[in-house]
Structure 1
């Protein structure tokens, strides 16, 4: 992870370099070997901060402190002592707030000790008192800047982590939705095709007309499956964008082709439909697929009731029931669909048949 506010050391290095060179040229002894070494060490510090190192952070920090001391020793203007505010700043970033605060206090104490050793009676001279106070203020501001930068970086990291989790959850939800669409639409039609082809094969010699009718129904299911796959690819949006036009009509069409003239499936619709409901259509597909393919039912009743509160679908068969088997992906996906539509699912099964009831509000 990149270090926060990397521009602060660079700005200080540039300011001290400009001030030191100006002092050497205009006030001091001129641009000699000492000033050149001073400038070279500042450039070395800038290069050291400008890249990531594989050596331990403590070694890099110690090298910075040594270079800062060398720069201060070579500077003829005295401006370079401002660079020592970087010691607690970099220590805070590298080792944490406790180390940064101790380093800040140490730098202030070191400057006071240097004044004591070199300047007699400095504690009563306004310019040195002002220098110490300004340096102390610089240390405090450096520590505050480091603390704010670290908090901001952590907050950014948490935000990026949250956004990544949201993206993963959104992708997982979309994958689940597409999986439900594939199972509920394509899976149903493939089951219907299988049923009709089995019927066509069984009655090919006994009832050629019925066999041809079963093949036609299988062909219709294949076409419908292809249409639904194309619709899903086109929209890839909310379920409401792919809802069929008229639940009653599509259910009648579904029952007609799935039953294939066997009069095994009956459909009863009452009330006024206010809007298409894809979730009930998928529920009917799931119930009919299970009843036709797995239960061995000889009679299947599909009823739809519309009222002021919503719509209710009931699929009843006289098959062998679930037999204690666990619900498969289709029923689990159906429950999720209905939950998202604020509806209810009730499934009751015994050895005398299964009743699937789904209700959704308008």
Structure 2
């Protein structure tokens, strides 16, 4: 049933009001002519009111309902033509065409527009034929008037079609923009969650690398001091002092990690000085012969920018590598090499320890995974070369032109 169907408001209220103004004008003309003829055109006014009400809402759903709605309007106009007032016919057809543009696609719009043009031409031809019969001497003028009105009506249909298409395109663009805005909001939320997760992982790596190194070295110093205390207490004193210093370092690292949870603003520092400090600590704490070699330009003296993020990442990698060497490698010699050019910085940590099988899980823990993550975040490359009994080499290359997110700088 028609009354059970769904309807939608006209999407553009100003067009509804425009239709009402046009229908009111048609009704006013009818009333003025009726007054001159001393009769009230109730039927004609009723047709105009029905057309006015039908424009308030538009049908949705099946195409058959939309077609029925359109033909119902055209039927009302046809009925109105039997009452006269053909001079308002173009206005009524334009109103129907405006509504049609909201109901159908482009092909259907052109089809309805063509049908309305044909109907208009038939009505006007019949009118001109009747008038030329009454006034034969004005036959040529009537036909010229018909041609002019037909051209104007066709132009009106075309302009209405272009106007409605523009309005519908703009409306769709606004919907697409709103959808895109919602998607961007969602993506921003997801990006924020991802950034938070990455920040947590970064802080977890920092805590593992810094505290793991400091506490491992502290444990070594205390074990050595305990062994020496029973036999040579005097020799145990330097190890206790070193353990105390490492304890202070561990506390400093804890404070840095806690501070990193609040803000991520680390001052730039020299790469060679930073690496040299951790190498000296390892040499003194482990007793393993450790060398540091600087090749090419050094950080702080080259023209290439060295961000705090790169310095920190390489520092943490050296720190973790030395910690793993002490724990697992049973090495007697370690070499840390840094090469800096205008475009890239290379780092390698080589030991002569027992090495390990890369296919096994031994030595492939959170520390090595953290190294890989740090270098990947900087757009660099990480290599691991090792075989059982042949030591281990960790190699890193980081481009100095990498744009590093601020959150990765600690």
Tell me the TM-score normalised to structure 2 length: 0.64
Equivalent residues of 2:10, 2:16 under 8 A apart: no
Are 2:264 and 1:223 equivalent residues in the alignment? no
Q: 1:44 aligns with which of 18, 38, 53?
A: 53
Q: 2:267 aligns with which of 232, 244, 251?
A: 244
Equivalent residues of 1:88, 1:99 under 8 A apart: no
Deviation at 1:6, TM superposition (A): 2.6
In structure 2, C-alpha distance between the alignment counterparts of 1:170 and 1:303, rounded to whole Å: 41
Q: 1:101 aligns with which of 98, 110, 128?
A: 110
Q: 1:335 aligns with which of 376, 382, 404?
A: 376
Q: 2:72 aligns with which of 45, 66, 76?
A: 66
**C-alpha distance 226-131 of structure 1, shift in aligned 2 (>3 A):** same
- Unaligned segments of structure 2, at least 5 residues: 1-7, 132-138, 227-239, 402-410
Q: 1:262 aligns with which of 286, 294, 311?
A: 286
- Unaligned segments of structure 1, at least 5 residues: 233-241, 339-343
1:235 alignment counterpart = none
Equivalent residues of 2:270, 2:299 under 8 A apart: no
In structure 1, C-alpha distance between the alignment counterparts of 2:24 and 2:281, rounded to whole Å: 88
Equivalent residues of 1:220, 1:257 under 8 A apart: no
In structure 1, C-alpha distance between the alignment counterparts of 2:196 and 2:335, rounded to whole Å: 29
Equivalent residues of 1:214, 1:260 under 8 A apart: no
The within-5 A match list for 1:1-362 is: 6-7=12-13, 9-29=15-35, 33-34=42-43, 37-38=46-47, 40-49=49-58, 55-56=61-62, 58-60=64-66, 62-67=68-73, 69-70=75-76, 73=79, 78-79=87-88, 81-117=90-126, 119-120=128-129, 125=142, 126-152=144-170, 179-197=197-215, 200=218, 207=225, 209=240, 211-232=243-264, 242=265, 244-248=267-271, 249-252=273-276, 261-262=285-286, 267-269=292-294, 271-273=298-300, 274=302, 275-277=305-307, 278-286=309-317, 288-289=319-320, 292-293=323-324, 296-297=328-329, 298=331, 301-307=335-341, 309-318=342-351, 320=355, 323-324=358-359, 328=369, 331-332=372-373, 334-338=375-379, 344-351=380-387, 352-361=391-400
| Farther off after superposition, 266-275 or 211-220 | 266-275
Equivalent residues of 1:86, 1:142 under 8 A apart: no
Equivalent residues of 1:243, 1:276 under 8 A apart: no
| Farther off after superposition, 89-98 or 197-206 | 197-206
Equivalent residues of 1:291, 1:317 under 8 A apart: no
Deviations 1:173-213 (A, max 9, x none): 66555544443344222343245445656765763735544
Deviation at 1:48, TM superposition (A): 0.3
Q: Aligned residue pairs: how many?
A: 343
RMSD, aligned CA: 4.4
Tell me the TM-score normalised to structure 1 length: 0.71
Equivalent residues of 1:255, 1:267 under 8 A apart: yes
Deviations 1:232-271 (A, max 9, x none): 3xxxxxxxxx453223354456667788833567655563
**C-alpha distance 313-121 of structure 1, shift in aligned 2 (>3 A):** same
In structure 2, C-alpha distance between the alignment counterparts of 1:321 and 1:280, rounded to whole Å: 28
Deviation at 1:316, TM superposition (A): 0.9
**C-alpha distance 263-92 of structure 1, shift in aligned 2 (>3 A):** farther
Deviations 1:150-190 (A, max 9, x none): 55556666666666676666666665555444433442223
SS across alignment from 1:28: helix
Equivalent residues of 2:313, 2:375 under 8 A apart: yes
Equivalent residues of 2:282, 2:322 under 8 A apart: no
SS across alignment from 1:144: helix
